[in-house]
Amino acid sequence: MTAGFRAVGTGSPASVEVLVVATVVLLAASMAHRMIKRSPAARHAVVLIALLTVGLCPLMVTVVRPTRVARLTSSLRNPIKFDVLLSRSESAAPSFQNGGHVLFLSSRKIPLGGIFLAFWGAGVTICLWRLLRGLRMMGRVRRSGLPLSDARFVSLQNHLASALGRNVPEIRTSERVGVPVALGWLRPIVLLPDSFLTRFSDRQLFQILMHECAHALRYDTLVGLYQRLLAAVLWFHPLIHIANRLLDRSREELCDNYVLQVVASSEYSQTLLTVAESLSPMPHGWFAPTLVQSAQHLEDRVAGLLNPRRCVMTRVTSRTNTIIATAFIGGALVLSCFAAAPTDEQAVRATVTNYIEAYYAGDASRMEKSLHPHYLKHTISGSEGKLRMTEWTGLQMVEDVRSHAPHIPASERKEQVTVLDIAGDIASAKLVTAHWVDYLTLTKWNGEWKIVSVVLRESD
């Protein structure tokens, strides 16, 4: 997974920052989920807010990065003044005739980054296709439901409304489902298998419908859709799938609490076991919340129901939600600042950006901040066979910027820099402009990257 992160980083450093922050958030949520023993509502709140925070990570990093770049550029210290250094050329500094440098996007990255991005895109496409197929299947199943209107279910609905303290969602039956399920995003309904009408007593049906109505009233189907979209984008990240499973299980336990408020835990446990005996496999690709998705974790779930110390709250307080949200979102924002701490590549890019922007602005003091005291530039001009080379020292470059501020429209100043290589405290970069192609060599000097040499070639 680390190799994958690095591969993504070759195409976009921001993607690595997002993955780092998301990974830490998901690890923290998993640990908190394990530590919270008694309260399904608290476990559910922790994992849900963590997943929402992961969805906000790209926005956080986007907000932090421009601030980081500006801070990095402005933090360059004052260097030794070039006017105290000896000029290495007796020739006067030539004037620029073709205006200034205009930068365009240019990237020469190792193929691994492109391969990884293509692999990621293929995975996202497959995941979204499976999700859309599941949504279409659930839509057909929803439309197949038949409403219940006999006196038995009118009485049952009234009992449910009284227990829940609000109107219950529409309840239908369908032969296309093998387990009770809540379906729908904005107007969820509850579907019962046809066989349940004769297999279970009114009291058991009340418990079953209480659980599913809780899912529908809480809009757990909409949360489930968000989970699957997030898993489609980060399909390669194992912690996303772990967090989704933890949230699914916490959601079931939380809706169990609705039933436990009106029914004894032993009776409800027996109902779950009876449902599990007649369990039909869920169609592949579904994410609708159901009473029993599989019998694999039913033993742990029943054990939790029979735990006398179980907290049967159906929601955490607004104060607790605020604390959890502040911890995850605030922590992720702080972590984004650290994750966005300038790497050598970003520092090299910032130095070259400072160099070209100082030229644009005619800011000699800012230019000095980008140059090493031994800076030397060779400018190559002329056509093939009539090439001319001019040598510039740092002193000449600074003086030329001070005396010849370029007049370049802001619309033409599209800045981009390509960092070609970094080896220890030496780096190389390329600057492609409308009139020039610059190859720059930099070194880390007193903890900061400075430009040592430039070879500039006029573009055709």
Are 249 and 271 in contact, with CB atoms under 8 Å apart? no
Q: What is the mean pLDDT of the chain?
A: 81
Confidence of residue 388 (pLDDT cuts 50, 70, 90): confident
User: Is the model's pLDDT at 98 over the cut of 60?
Assistant: no
Confidence of residue 298 (pLDDT cuts 50, 70, 90): confident
pLDDT at 42: 95
pLDDT at 285: 52
Cα–Cα distance measured from residue 26 to residue 38, given in angstroms and rounded to the nearest whole number: 21
Distance of CA 311 to the CA centre of its chain: 33
User: Is the model's pLDDT at 112 over the cut of 70?
Assistant: no
Cα–Cα distance measured from residue 405 to residue 125, given in angstroms and rounded to the nearest whole number: 50
The average pLDDT across 397-422 equals 77
Mean pLDDT is lowest, of 61-65, 201-205, 309-313, 449-453, for 61-65
CATH 3.10.450.50 domain locations along the chain: 77-109+343-460
The average pLDDT across 91-96 equals 40
Mean pLDDT is lowest, of 47-61, 152-166, 392-406, 441-455, for 392-406
State pLDDT tens for residues 300-340: 788 888 888 899 999 999 999 999 999 999 999 888 877 65
pLDDT at 395: 86
- Which H or E run includes 114? helix 111-143
DSSP string, 86-97: PPS--SPPPPPS
Are 209 and 162 in contact, with CB atoms under 8 Å apart? no
Are 255 and 215 in contact, with CB atoms under 8 Å apart? yes
Confidence of residue 94 (pLDDT cuts 50, 70, 90): very low
pLDDT at 166: 86
DSSP string, 41-86: HHHHHHHHHHHHHHHHHHHHHHHHHHHHHHHHHHTPPP---GGGSP
Beta bridge partners of 428: 421, 441
Alpha-helix residue ranges (DSSP H) falling in 340-417: 344-361, 364-370, 394-403
pLDDT at 261: 92
C-alpha distance from residue 113 to each of 3, 10, 11, 13, 347 (Å): 10, 5, 6, 11, 21
Cα–Cα distance measured from residue 324 to residue 42, given in angstroms and rounded to the nearest whole number: 9
DSSP string, 245-268: HHHHHHHHHHHHHHHHTTS-HHHH
Looking at beta carbons, which pairs linking 310-315 to residues 24 or more positions away fall under 8 Å?
310/38, 310/40, 310/260, 310/265, 311/38, 311/39, 311/40, 311/41, 311/42, 312/257, 312/260, 312/261, 313/39, 313/41, 313/257, 314/41, 314/214, 314/254, 314/257, 314/258, 314/261, 315/41
The average pLDDT across 257-280 equals 87
Cα–Cα distance measured from residue 191 to residue 193, given in angstroms and rounded to the nearest whole number: 7
The average pLDDT across 352-367 equals 85
pLDDT at 317: 93
Alpha-helix residue ranges (DSSP H) falling in 201-343: 202-217, 220-233, 238-260, 265-277, 298-305, 318-325, 331-339
Phi, psi dihedral angles at 145 (to 5 degrees): -70, 140
Cα–Cα distance measured from residue 135 to residue 195, given in angstroms and rounded to the nearest whole number: 24
User: Is the model's pLDDT at 91 over the cut of 50?
Assistant: no
User: Is the model's pLDDT at 182 over the cut of 50?
Assistant: yes
Alpha-helix residue ranges (DSSP H) falling in 144-176: 151-164
3-state secondary structure of 110: coil
Close Cβ partners of 324 (under 8 Å, ≥ 6 residues apart): 45, 46, 49, 316
Q: Could you tell me which CATH number the domain at 77-109+343-460 has?
A: 3.10.450.50
The residue with tokens 């690709």 is: 285
Cα–Cα distance measured from residue 182 to residue 136, given in angstroms and rounded to the nearest whole number: 15
User: Is the model's pLDDT at 65 over the cut of 90?
Assistant: no
Name the strands in the sheet holding 426-432, side by side, starting at the edge strand that comes first in the sequence: 388-393, 371-381, 448-458, 436-445, 426-432, 418-423
User: Is the model's pLDDT at 4 over the cut of 60?
Assistant: no
pLDDT at 12: 54
**Euclidean distance between the first and final Cα of the chain, in Å?**
44
**What is the DSSP secondary structure assignment for residue 290, as one 8-state letter?**
B
The average pLDDT across 353-358 equals 86
- In a 13 Å sphere around the CA of 70, the CA atoms on its Cβ side amount to 5
The average pLDDT across 184-206 equals 90
Cα–Cα distance measured from residue 396 to residue 400, given in angstroms and rounded to the nearest whole number: 6
Q: Which residue has the higher pLDDT, 161 or 281?
A: 161
User: Is the model's pLDDT at 288 over the cut of 90?
Assistant: no
Confidence of residue 100 (pLDDT cuts 50, 70, 90): very low
Largest CA distance in the chain: 105
User: Is the model's pLDDT at 13 over the cut of 80?
Assistant: no
User: Is the model's pLDDT at 85 over the cut of 50?
Assistant: no
C-alpha distance from residue 394 to each of 339, 446, 457 (Å): 34, 18, 18
